[in-house]
Amino acid sequence: MDSFTVLVTARIPEPGIQLLKERGYRVEVLDEEDEQLEHLIFTKIKNADALLPLLSHKVDRRLIDRAPRLKVIANYAVGYNNIDVAYASSKGIVVTNTPDILTPATADLTWALILSVAKRIVEGDALVRAGKFKGWRPKLLLGGDVTGKTLGIVGAGRIGQAVGKRALGFNMSLLYVSPHAKPDFERDTGAKRVDLTTLLAESDYITIHCPLTEETHHLLNARNMNRIKRGAYLINTARGQVVEEKALVSLLKSGHLAGAGLDVYEFEPAVSEELLNMKNVVLLPHIGSATVETRNEMSRMAARNIISVLEEGKAIHPVN
């Protein structure tokens, strides 16, 4: 068997690295905290048969042109907007991702944000830790109900549907926006497909699960976010650029939105100073898939995609 070289742009969990090494591959793992990371990727890519990048690592024409041996880009993510897929395809390079495995973890985290912001969990934790809890009070940290409310799902793919199915335990009504009808989802949950304007106007909780594309960039913007039902909550565990952050801040400051739960940001990793100072916003550091089991399986899945392309000429989870 030929010995292939795999460049991994971050210290991902070991299971996938071990799979590659067991095949006799040369595996070079970079440190994502290295200040010279971009330069190192650009330098070392020229000898790589396979690249395993994070979603935060850009794989553009400039980088691809530096990689004459490259046969596969196995993204360590379900999304792949960091990769110039069209250009990779023109060069005969296979692009893969890690679908499905992230669904339960991300759906669970979405619900953690819904409940945290509605029930003011983070505020309550901070109050107790600061020694300010003086006993039960009738108006202490009053939040919003979840049971019986309406959940609006923007993007009813795997994750959006998983979030919706979890809402059944809270006896919620479901609305969803999707380019295509989801008859099985509708049958199983009673969900109703509507347009975005209707969803924003009627939902008590709005949760975003669409991919980032040219069409979904600023899908929620200053113009249509003003149509959101007053007192609603906005949750985003998808991509930060789907929401115009300036408009979100404005609605939160005015009190039009009761709160927000965010795992992603428009200018990630930068976070708006105004968001940082809002008590009715729960902020997480992009940890939607952050469980041991999920991240280990993502590592294995990326490795299996690389092995399949290099040894069999086809991917298990191709994007292009």
Q: At which residue do the structure tokens 């819904």 appear?
A: 114
Torsion of CA 161, 162, 166, 171, to 10 degrees: 0
Contact criterion met (CB below 8 Å) for 317 and 301: yes
The upper half-sphere exposure of residue 231, i.e. CA atoms within 13 Å in the direction of its Cβ, equals 8
Task: Quote the strand ranges of the chain, DSSP E.
Answer: 5-8, 26-29, 50-52, 72-74, 94-96, 150-154, 173-177, 192-193, 205-208, 232-236, 257-262, 281-283
Please give the positions annotated as active site. 239, 268, 286
The DSSP line for 196-217 is: HHHHHHH-SEEEE-PPP-TTTT
Rounded alpha-carbon distances, angstroms, from residue 65 to 58, 61, 94, 230? 13, 6, 15, 50
Asked if residue 179 has a cis previous peptide bond (ω within 30° of 0), the answer is no
Spatial CB neighbours of 188, under 8 Å, sequence gap ≥ 6: 165
Rounded alpha-carbon distances, angstroms, from residue 268 to 41, 87, 194, 226, 284? 21, 25, 30, 24, 11
Helix (H, G, I), strand (E, B) or coil at 252: helix
Q: What burial class does residue 75 get, using C-beta atoms within 10 Å of its C-beta: 0-12 exposed, 13-18 middle, 19+ buried?
A: buried
Contact criterion met (CB below 8 Å) for 247 and 236: no
